[in-house]
Every structure is written in C-alpha cells, then in structure tokens.
C-alpha cells in the first residue's frame, strides 16, 4: 500500500469520511436549541475557506433569526411548492405533497449564502470562459458549511423551492448579489441513516459503477 506523509491520521480520515457519509439534508428533526455564536462562527469560517475561482470569495452570509423574515420566506415557499406539486400526476403528486421539504420555522437559524457576481472586478482569474464559476465556488462554501455542521451535530436543510427574485427582495439584496442557497440550521433529534427522500420511497441512490466511465462517455473504466 502506498502511504503519504501528507495523509491524515486514520482517526482524522475516519472523521472526515464520517461527516461526508452521515451528512443529511434535514427538514423534520430540528430542535429549538440556540446555536452558540462561536459554533456558528466556526461553520461560517469553514464555508469561508472553500475554494473559489481566482480566490474571488464571492459569498456573503445573511444570518436570519427574525420570525418575520422567516414567515415571509415560508409563505414564498408555500406558493412555489404548490406550483411544484402541479408538475406531478396522480399518486406521485400525492406522494410529493406528503413530503416535508423545509424546516424554516422549526430551525433556530436560517442562513442565506449569496454570490456577489461582481466581486473582484470585471476580470477574475479563471472566470474568463465559464462565468458561472462564481456560482460553483459558492456551492462549495455551502458544502463546507454542511459538512462542518454535521461534525458539530448541527443539521442543515437546503430550501430551493423559492422564487429567487422574491427572495432577493425579502432580503434586500443588491442587483448584483444572487441568493444561491437558503439554508435552515439547527441541532437535531437525530440524523437519518439515509436520505429522507430515499427513506420515503421517492428516489434511491444510483449505483456508483453505473456512473463511472473510462476515457469517454459509456466506456468501461480500465482500472486493472
């Protein structure tokens, strides 16, 4: 076996993979307990240490504790969720309607991670050809926070059933700032063993072997 002096210790590696495999999207298991400010700061620091195109760091973090703002966002969710349900027919529609897809009021903190599309000026290193790389970078900040939260015993739920323009208005975002992720954060009663959508029979995890290709799409991987 190849070893590297740069690798983490076994325990550290186990911890990292545990966070990856036991991270869950949480909607129903939130506890009302307050997240201490130093813990929240650790999560935001983790997010802030994500990679970003040209070191653009396009993110801002809007920490939403007010019930008023959360009620406004919940009303926006209800409206969009109604529209989303209409896209399904029959049993699938009833199944969709039975799913809980947000924990906006039950979680003690909502967090909007935004992407400032103008940060770093008009020419950002690495963003010349693919302009969406600022959005990709911000997604990585979300994932860092999501994994760090799992390690802290804090659940995160991403709510994307929202109209972005309405959300921007509700949060007074400037024109050049995009509301990339609306997240619900809080301690939880439990983390489920599998994605809630899988547990509820909506969709299962695909097999990795069907997703790995060699050289070109559809070719078997030659790893022998």
At closest approach, how far in Å is the CB of 108 from ligand FNR? 18
Closest CA to 166 of 77, 92, 45: 77
Among 56, 101, 111, 124, binds ligand FNR (CB under 6 A): 101
- 21/55 with CB nearer ligand FNR: 21
**How many angstroms separate the CA atoms of 88 and 208, rounded?**
28
Instruction: Find residue 63's DSSP bridge partners.
Output: 111
What DSSP line would sit under 99-119, residue for residue?
Answer: S----TTTSSEEEEEEEETTT
- 120/184 with CB nearer ligand FNR: 184
CB atoms within 10 A of CB 213: 11
HSE-CB of 14 using CA atoms within 13 angstroms: 3
Is 50 a residue that touches ligand FNR (CB under 6 A)? no
Q: 173 and 179 in contact (C-beta within 8 Å)?
A: yes
Q: 185 and 102 in contact (C-beta within 8 Å)?
A: no
> What is the DSSP secondary structure assignment for residue 25, as one 8-state letter?
B
Residue carrying the six token digits 């991403």:
158
- Binding to ligand FNR, residues 102-161 (CB under 6 A): 102, 157-161
At closest approach, how far in Å is the CB of 128 from ligand FNR? 25
Comparing every residue's Cβ against ligand FNR, the nearest one is 195
> What is the DSSP secondary structure assignment for residue 193, as one 8-state letter?
S
At closest approach, how far in Å is the CB of 9 from ligand FNR? 26
Q: At what angle do helices 90-98 and 67-85 cross, to 10 degrees?
A: 170
Is 25 a residue that touches ligand FNR (CB under 6 A)? yes
Total residues contacting ligand FNR (rule CB under 6 A)? 12
- 58/157 with CB nearer ligand FNR: 157
- Point out which span in 8-16, 22-30, 35-43, 121-129 binds ligand FNR (CB under 6 A): 22-30
At closest approach, how far in Å is the CB of 138 from ligand FNR? 11
Is 197 a residue that touches ligand FNR (CB under 6 A)? yes
- 1/206 with CB nearer ligand FNR: 206
- 120/155 with CB nearer ligand FNR: 155
Instruction: Find residue 224's DSSP bridge partners.
Output: none
Query: Which stretches of the chain bind ligand FNR, using CB under 6 A?
Result: 24-25, 27, 101-102, 157-161, 195, 197
């Amino acid at each position: 076996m190849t070893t590297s002096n740069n690798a983490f210790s076994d325990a550290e590696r186990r911890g990292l993979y545990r966070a990856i495999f036991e991270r869950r999207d949480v909607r129903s298991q939130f506890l009302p307990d307050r997240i201490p400010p130093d813990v929240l700061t650790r999560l935001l620091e983790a997010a802030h240490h994500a990679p970003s195109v040209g070191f653009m760091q396009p993110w801002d973090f809007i920490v939403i504790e007010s019930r008023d703002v959360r009620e406004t966002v919940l009303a926006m969710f209800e409206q969009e969720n109604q529209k989303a349900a209409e896209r399904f027919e029959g049993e699938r529609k009833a199944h969709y309607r039975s799913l809980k897809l947000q924990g906006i009021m039950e979680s003690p903190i909502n967090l909007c991670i935004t992407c400032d599309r103008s940060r770093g000026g008009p020419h950002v290193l690495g963003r010349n050809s693919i302009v969406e790389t600022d959005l990709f970078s911000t997604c990585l900040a979300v994932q860092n926070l999501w994994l760090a939260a799992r390690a802290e015993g804090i659940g995160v739920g991403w709510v994307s059933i929202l109209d972005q323009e309405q959300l921007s208005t509700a949060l007074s975002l400037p024109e050049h700032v995009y509301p990339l992720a609306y997240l619900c954060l809080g301690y939880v009663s439990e983390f489920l063993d599998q994605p809630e959508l899988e547990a509820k029979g909506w969709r299962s995890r695909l097999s990795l072997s069907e997703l790995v290709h060699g050289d070109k799409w559809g070719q078997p991987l030659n790893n022998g």
